[in-house]
Amino acid sequence: MGDHVSRRNVLRIGAGAAVAGLTGILLPESASAIKVGPDILHGSRSRAEVAITFHGQGDLAIARKILAISKKYNAPISVMAVGTWLNANPTIGHEILDSGNDLGNHTYSHKTMTLLSLKAATAEVAKGKTALVKSVGTASKWFRPSGTLKSNAIIRAAAGASGYANCLVYDVDSFDYQNPSAKTIINTCMKTVQNGSIIGMHFGHAHTVSALPLLIQTLQAKGFTPVTVTQLLR
């Protein structure tokens, strides 16, 4: 995930450039192919709940520290896992679910999806789904595109081909992938968090581990209840 910083500057400017002017796209023929709705950025603004979500990849020791913190503070998380990571670490999927968290699909190899053809994007989603099923026996209802802050027509078509009804994104970016201090991560999140927010964070970063306990406690002190994405979007 080290290429997030350089990539995102480009993506913020023109995430949909590759499909500019595209008004529709045919889904690949599949029994599970469905029409995909708009991106999910947040849950209900009427409930004081938030979902802390993680891009699942990187050092297992860091991942397990984050899972332990989540359990200690009664703050379930939602992990959008990269398929290659699940394949390389056969037990981690069950470790995530067995602690009461959500597990979703974050593509197979974390490519920048806005740069992919429909065929390549469809393969990324489908192989990520296969890795999830191999790991925990279910494909999950949650899919998050990689390398972009939002979907485009090609990504939505790829998601729909694997049966995902929406792309799960987020309205609060912690920017923890830039490795700022723990204090900066917390301040960044608290500046924009509101009822129903989905917070984007990452496994694999030591400062995220340092920030998480105080972030959870700060959210709780402000009246927010951390829940899984499934709970948030019920």
Please write the tens of the pLDDT for every residue from 93-131: 999 999 999 999 999 999 999 999 999 999 999 999 999
Q: Which of 187, 149, 189, 185 is nearest to 167 (CA)?
A: 149
What CA–CA distance (Å, rounded) separates 57 from 126?
18
Q: Which residues pair with 143 in a beta bridge?
A: 105
Side chain identity, residue 183: K
Q: Is the pLDDT of residue 219 over 50?
A: yes
- Architecture per CATH, domain 41-232, reads as Alpha-Beta Barrel (3.20)
For residues 152 and 154, give the distance between their C-alpha atoms in angstroms, rounded to a whole number.
6
Please give the model's pTM, rounded to 2 decimal places: 0.87
Asked if 185 and 176 count as a contact pair (C-beta separation under 8 A), the reply is yes
What's the confidence (pLDDT) of residue 29?
A: 43
Cβ-based neighbours of 195, under 8 Å, separated by 6 or more: 44, 45, 46, 47, 48, 49, 50, 224
Read off the pLDDT of each residue in 80-98 and give the average, rounded to a whole number: 98
- Give the pLDDT confidence of 149-207 residue by residue, as tens digits: 999 999 999 999 999 999 999 999 999 999 999 999 999 999 999 999 999 999 999 99
Mean pLDDT of the chain: 89
pLDDT band of residue 5 (cuts 50, 70, 90) is: very low
